[in-house]
Structure 1
Amino acid sequence: MRRLLLIAFVVGAPIAKAAERSGERMNVLFIIADDLRTELGCYGSEIAQTPCLDRFADRGVRFDRAYCQFPLCNPSRSSMLTGRRPTEVGVLGNRTWFGATCSDAVSLPKHFRHHGYRTLRSGKVFHGGIDDTAAWDEGGEERYFGEGATAQPPDESVRGPDGRLLGKDERSDRIVVLPGDGSQTREHRIADRAIAYLREASEHDADEPFLLMCGFNKPHSPLEAPQAYFDRFDLDSIPLPSDYEPRPTVPEGFPAGSIRRSNADLFIGRDSTPEAAREMIRAYLASSAWMDYNAGRVLDALEESGLAESTIVVFWGDHGYQLGEKGKWSKAGSLWEQGLRVPTILYDPRAAGNGRACPRVVQTLDFYATLCDLCELPTPDGVEGRSLAPFLDDPDTPSEEPAYSVWSEDGKHVTGVALRTEHWRYAEFFGRGAGKMLTDPVADPAETVNLANDPAHAELVARFSRMARDYATWWLPAEAAP
């Protein structure tokens, strides 16, 4: 019977030793959600309806302080899938293919394929129109962005119920009720395909291990779900954030660069109202619940396949999201806690830490090295990050390594750098809206007070500033040079 590894979080050395003792190679299954912040029941949300992932978190190790390297789909995924920081792989926007900017980088699926794994893809893994086609045995697509692209961009003409051609902003800034039970829609089909791969694996006894990556599109806008998922939430009971604003608003005492002037996903070019904000939050919750249901179908299929006891399962969200905090309704440009903190859960049946939460700061950048460690593969040159395996056996393993994240307004320069420790969040902005911010998310979870100019923290701010600038060396705007 094949071994299966389901990856959505992190793995490490103690687990790799167990695999070595068994003499069997592990398979990998990686489940990804798009635009999913830590708005899940297992992360303490009082309004989310995510029973499938909550049950999964009860079985595995939940990472409470996991952070992405860039609050945007393609740069975040490219960083994770190459094991390199965004500035190292050279991807700072949604239309850049990593192969054109960093030709020596070997993607995670391609690395596994080179080492005898059968690589399978269902749904969104890299980004729309961007794929590492040669990395997959099944499920790869021709890309239409980047050097050597052969496919053409899809027709983006979308019309509303009245037949009017919708602009790009109108297409994304929508709430959509899917017909019936949603079984004929894209999200359901992504799960169907992953389930078919699992069933095929259970029916064949083969020596060839596999890597299966399953990427769901929700809750990315447009916010979609069948009506039954909207009905789970009482609109009048949905609370607004304590720092809700009708439009993007820089909090007093913070640098202008900390909040972009306009939203990129929801309430584009228009103000929200408390009533409209609650409608949008309900739609986000419904869309998340719909994704949870389909992720649960894949997890149930794993149990039914007979592979569960020989499978490591990972669930990951590619970046965070703001739902009206400080008037922001998107992820783009958010170096705040909500924009960078990501849900990360990993289950390995052999791990001693299952059923517990890990309080240590970890990064998306760590996944590549972790999987190589777990599966006893060599780690390619240039891969950064560390193996997170020790946290699976002992989630309280001491660690003082911070997480770094960056943002770029022009796709060419780093205009913001953030670093997160277990106690502090620091961010520095360059170019327009330059300035520094230091918050204490422990004492001030809404991040409403900027401590960067407090003399009591001058030494800390100076140290963090050096760290931030060193991280983005050569990518800062000219005016940001010391």
Structure 2
Amino acid sequence: MRAPAFLRNSLLAMAVFGLVVAASRWASAAENTRPNVLLIIADDLRNEMGCYGSPVAQTPRLDEFAATAVRFDKAYCQFPLCNPSRSSVLTGLRPTTVGVLGNRTWFGATRPDAVSLVRHFKAHGYQTVRSGKIFHGGIDDSQAWSVGGRPRYFGQDASAKPPVHRERNADGRLLTKTERSDRWIVLPNEGRDHTDHKIADRAVEYLRSNPTEPFFLTAGFHKPHSPLAAPQRFFDQFDPAEIELSPDYAPRPTVPEGFPAGSIRPSNADLFVGRDSTPESARKMIHAYLAASAWMDWNAGRVLDELEAQGLADNTIVLFWGDHGYQLGEKGKWSKAGSLWEQGARTPLLIRDPRAAAAGAACPRVVEALDIYPTLCDLCGLPIPEQLEGVSLARFLEDPDAASDRPAYTIWSADGKTVSGVCVRTERWRYAEFYGRGPGRMLTDPVNDPHELTNLADRPEHAELVARLSRLAQEYVAGHAAE
């Protein structure tokens, strides 16, 4: 006996409804199985890590992590300064495109159409959690965060000054600018009262909260940014007398013979500001830098440990990055600002995807920090915004030796408005041009001259190479170079 029409329609409706509900549940389940993301950033950390071959660094926790990740041996920042570097990475745009060439420019004012990496993940169902320094200073994208965003932007008020991360002595007194640049700090109470310890605490607390939706968790540590600080036990890991200075160490910023004047700023910005170093004081300062780096490593390890303890590691992509390089006395320079040398432009970059085949491998290809945004989108199955200027590095997590001929570009601006220098890094060569003050060009051979002691730019045998790299450099900064 055939059922009445109204009953057949009801049964059909119920069946359709059931399929819709099931599809919704399947979609929800798929959404919840998306990989999480843990983004860890260190400030002013150059490739002075055990996993990068440093003979003196003590970074055991990140070295252990590197053994489970892909280590990028030729990763380069797009600008050797905090705000331009981070603004480029977090918007996926070159510094000249996003219009951020200094530490006091908010990307939201120069490119209000830019969608930050964090906001993009939030828009696609991720809970986004900020702990520590992700954007720079008082600059933020507060609407991008589910948890922890700042309520105000620096840059909306041109007269405002960004908040400064201030260090205190053991007695609680704020350090003066001179003290912050000329000394280091032994932190009392095992550093528990310091911002970096609390950054790790907040990240650990979130991981213990039993998150039920995909998360994008960040932990941005301030160290080893000056003033150099760590608990005593991290200083005790090193003997300053055993620290070797670079072959091109100098007591003050010194332009090497045969190089453009614009290749070295005449004064330091971070350490030994306004005064010369000596070999003895230089070793002690490097000692403090190594201690601060070791302490950052320990705090990063606390977060990685908790990820494992909560059973989240197998479904979490972890990316560790240093926002730019740093010079520790090479050519007399003690900072990152203005450095288009290898130590200033090169950064640590480690990526672990539990699904990837190349865990523990090293990738020799040249890559850019600009590639982080599309890489995380690719690995998490999110659409990659068309305006991004980097490329996904996901293929290198399966095959670290995959072919690539893309160079990396790093620029510098002396006035925060125009480009005063640009470096082109290929797998074989480093080439840079300088404009405005101290113009000129330099070509160095990283293989045979790792300390960049000889400028090859005017050698006749390299004329064709220099012409080709010069074209790339000028195309990259067209319309932005200083006169």
Q: Give the TM-score of the pair, scaled to structure 2.
A: 0.91
Give the SS at the match of 2:297: helix
Matched, 1:328 2:333: yes
Equivalent residue for 1:224, pick from 226, 229, 233: 229
Q: How far is the alpha carbon of 1:66 from its aligned partner? A: 0.4
Gaps of 5+ in 1: 1-19
Equivalent residue for 1:355, pick from 354, 357, 360: 360
Residues 422-459 of structure 1 deviation map (CA, whole Å, 9 limit, x = unaligned): 11000000001000000001110000000000010011
Q: How far is the alpha carbon of 1:213 from its aligned partner? A: 1.1
| 8 Å Cα contact 1:416-1:430 kept in structure 2 | yes
User: What is aligned with 1:46?
Assistant: 55
> Equivalences for 1:200-349 in 2 at 5 Å?
200=209, 203-204=210-211, 206=212, 208-349=213-354
Superposition RMSD on alpha carbons, in Å? 2.1
User: What is aligned with 1:453?
Assistant: 458
Give the SS at the match of 1:437: strand
Letter in 2 for 1:455: P
Give the SS at the match of 1:267: coil
Give the SS at the match of 1:345: strand
Q: Write the distance in 1 (CA, Å) between the matches of 2:234 and 2:329.
A: 21
Q: How far is the alpha carbon of 1:332 from its aligned partner? A: 0.2
Q: How far is the alpha carbon of 1:180 from its aligned partner? A: 2.8
Equivalent residue for 2:156, pick from 147, 156, 172: 147
| 8 Å Cα contact 2:186-2:231 kept in structure 1 | yes
| 8 Å Cα contact 1:406-1:414 kept in structure 2 | yes
Matched, 1:132 2:137: no
Q: Give the TM-score of the pair, scaled to structure 1.
A: 0.91
Residues 150-199 of structure 1 deviation map (CA, whole Å, 9 limit, x = unaligned): 98754888887899986434333320110031122211110000011111
Cα distance change on mapping 1:235 and 1:459 into 2, 3 Å:
same
Q: How far is the alpha carbon of 1:114 from its aligned partner? A: 1.1
User: Greater Rg, structure 1 or structure 2?
Assistant: 2
Give the SS at the match of 1:87: helix
Range 320-329 or range 22-31, more displaced:
22-31
Matched, 1:83 2:88: no
| 8 Å Cα contact 2:429-2:446 kept in structure 1 | yes
Equivalent residue for 2:184, pick from 172, 175, 195: 175
User: What is aligned with 2:389?
Assistant: 384
User: What is aligned with 2:200?
Assistant: 191
Q: Write the distance in 1 (CA, Å) between the matches of 2:479 and 2:376.
A: 30
Q: Write the distance in 2 (CA, Å) between the matches of 1:47 and 1:409.
A: 33
User: What is aligned with 1:429?
Assistant: 434
User: What is aligned with 1:3?
Assistant: none
Gaps of 5+ in 2: 1-28
Give the SS at the match of 1:436: strand
Matched, 1:64 2:73: yes
Give the SS at the match of 1:447: coil
Residues 324-355 of structure 1 deviation map (CA, whole Å, 9 limit, x = unaligned): 00000000000000001000001112111111
Give the SS at the match of 2:329: coil
Q: How far is the alpha carbon of 1:131 from its aligned partner? A: 0.8
Matched, 1:374 2:379: yes
Higher relative contact order (CA closer than 8 Å, sequence separation 6+): 1
Equivalent residue for 2:123, pick from 102, 114, 121: 114
Q: How far is the alpha carbon of 1:474 from its aligned partner? A: 1.1
Give the SS at the match of 1:56: helix
Residues 396-440 of structure 1 deviation map (CA, whole Å, 9 limit, x = unaligned): 111111000100000000000001011100000000100000000
Q: Write the distance in 2 (CA, Å) between the matches of 1:316 and 1:245.
A: 29
> Equivalences for 1:90-105 in 2 at 5 Å?
90-105=99-114
Q: Write the distance in 1 (CA, Å) between the matches of 2:222 and 2:52.
A: 21
User: What is aligned with 1:17?
Assistant: none
Q: Write the distance in 2 (CA, Å) between the matches of 1:355 and 1:34.
A: 24
